[in-house]
Amino acid sequence: MSAAYLVAARRTAVAPRNGAFKAVEVDELGEAPIRAVLSDAGIARDAIDDVIFGNALYAGGNPARLAALRAGLPDRVPALTIDSQCCGGLDAIMLAADRIASGADAVIAGGVESFSRAPLRARRPRNAGEAPQSYDRPPFAPWPERDPDMIAAAGTLAEAFDIPRHRQDAFAIASHRKAIANPAGDDEIAPLAGLSRDAFPRALTETLCARLPPIAGGPSFGVTRATVAVEADAAAAVLVVSESMLRRLDVVRPLRVVAASRCGGDPAMPGIAPIAAARKLLAARQIAPEAIAVAEIMEAFASQAIACAEGISVAESALNRGGGGLARGHPIGASGAILAVRLWHEMQREATGALGLAAIAAAGGLGSALLVTI
């Protein structure tokens, strides 16, 4: 059974919905990081065994296959699109590591999402003469009382975990500040449609945050537009290879996959599921959270990110050094893969043997965590 190595990691910039990527189709988004990781690793297209992408909004089809073909991969290379909502991009990378363990040599994995170009959704009528029923999202639990609106759930989480509004505001301000101070460079972002930098980071202030009304929760624990990640378009990919393939490539500092974990939790409190996933893989290897040098934890909501960081016991100095989803945006099926790409690039600054963690939650009470070392 071969170890799995992440040898190249690229993403597009993240653009808010109806922004720079508003006319870019989902397969065009996915094409850009695929081409970039192939070039970075210096690997031939016909050496790729599989492509696995997460996607949540395409409403069927197989955007991973479309992106792979558009990127010039041979017809014989299969592709798989998975939908575990926000976890999809990270889950795809974990599946790629499993493919390596089962005998594959090179798998491109990641995620892609376009809020701007997502199809409109409607349910067919049950009876003749009835109109189709439009809807924004599918159910994530079979019981309506345990399937909350995600923004409302973030407000509930804030109160349950005693995360007042001023802490959420401060976390969002810090995310934007870090994104501005440590922007992703040309070695991370594959330019597309004239955009080569994340479009959303800004100089968020306490004064501006204080003026925003709550959109969920009360005045003490309320969630606002500043503490919710904006809907966004982006794609990200990593090249995952076997030890045998690694020896054939001219790669200086790959990341080795140490462990991966997926956990389910209460669908009514979906934001905290990554805590169990991360604790499980750390405990199984007797690794203290303090040993994590770099941590990329999804910021779909400030309350959720704070709860996860504290629940996993991630050091503040390790957390989301280049900002997170609150500063960039949340392209659902790509967000987990963006965490992995950010982790790969941040880990390049660390000493050999350092540990890195990526973790993300998803609607329905799902959590995924990936542990790597350099």
User: Residue 284: which residues within 8 A CB-CB, separation 6 or more?
Assistant: 259
Q: For 47-93, write each residue's pLDDT tens digit.
A: 999 999 999 999 788 999 999 999 999 999 999 999 999 999 999 99
Tell me if residue 345 is catalytic: no
Q: For 171-183, write each residue's pLDDT tens digit.
A: 999 999 999 999 9
d(CA 251, CA 42): 9
Quote the pLDDT of residue 224: 97
Phi, psi of 139 (to 5 degrees): -70, 145
Give the three-state DSSP class for 364: coil
Can you list the residues of the chain whose pLDDT is less than 50?
A: none
d(CA 182, CA 46): 36
Catalytic site residue from 86, 87, 209, 308 = 86
Quote the pLDDT of residue 2: 82
Give the start-to-end residue ranges of the domains of the chain.
Answer: 4-116+230-248
Quote the pLDDT of residue 97: 98
The two tokens of residue 348 are 């390049």
Catalytic site residue from 87, 209, 263, 330 = 330
CATH architecture observed for domain 4-116+230-248: 3-Layer(aba) Sandwich (3.40)
Quote the pLDDT of residue 100: 98
Asked if 168 contacts 302 with a C-beta cutoff of 8 angstroms, the reply is yes
Residue with tokens 């070695």: 187
Tell me if residue 176 is catalytic: no
**How many CA atoms are closer than 13 Å to the CA of 84, on its beta-carbon side?**
26
d(CA 359, CA 261): 9
Overall pTM > 0.85 = yes
Give the three-state DSSP class for 184: coil
Q: Where do the H-state alpha helices sit in the chain?
A: 26-41, 63-70, 88-101, 150-160, 165-181, 206-211, 243-248, 273-284, 302-312, 325-328, 332-347
Quote the pLDDT of residue 218: 86
Over its C-alpha atoms, the chain yields an Rg (Å, rounded) of 20
Quote the pLDDT of residue 60: 80
Quote the pLDDT of residue 301: 98
Among candidates 257, 285, 266, which has minimal Cα distance to 358? 257
